[in-house]
Amino acid sequence: MVLALALMLSAGAVTACESGRHNIDHGNATEDKGKFEKAVGDVTGNDDKKAEGQRDEDKGKTQKAVGQVQEKVDVTVDKTTNP
């Protein structure tokens, strides 16, 4: 998971400079979009659409993970700088 996260960050697929909450929200939206695209691909028999949906779903999950890590870092920094 860490390697996949690092690869997506380096490829620019996930914006790490946004706030943790923003990345979680955006990740949820991207994941939902991917699920919808996969469903459309299933109904229409379009394998390309299903694959595109899977990529978006994976991207959304990764972006959510980035946001969760960012939030944990923010809490740790707050505890350290504001005892």
Contact call for residues 66 and 5 (beta carbons, < 8 A):
yes
Confidence of residue 11 (pLDDT cuts 50, 70, 90): low
**Residue 39 domain boundaries:** 17-81
Q: Domain count for the chain, please give it.
A: 1
Confidence of residue 5 (pLDDT cuts 50, 70, 90): low
Q: Does some domain include residue 1?
A: no
Q: Does some domain include residue 3?
A: no
72 has a pLDDT exceeding 80: yes
61 has a pLDDT exceeding 90: yes
pTM over 0.75: no
Give me the chain's average pLDDT, please: 85
Q: Does some domain include residue 7?
A: no
Q: Does some domain include residue 48?
A: yes
Phi, psi of 13 (to 5 degrees): -75, -25
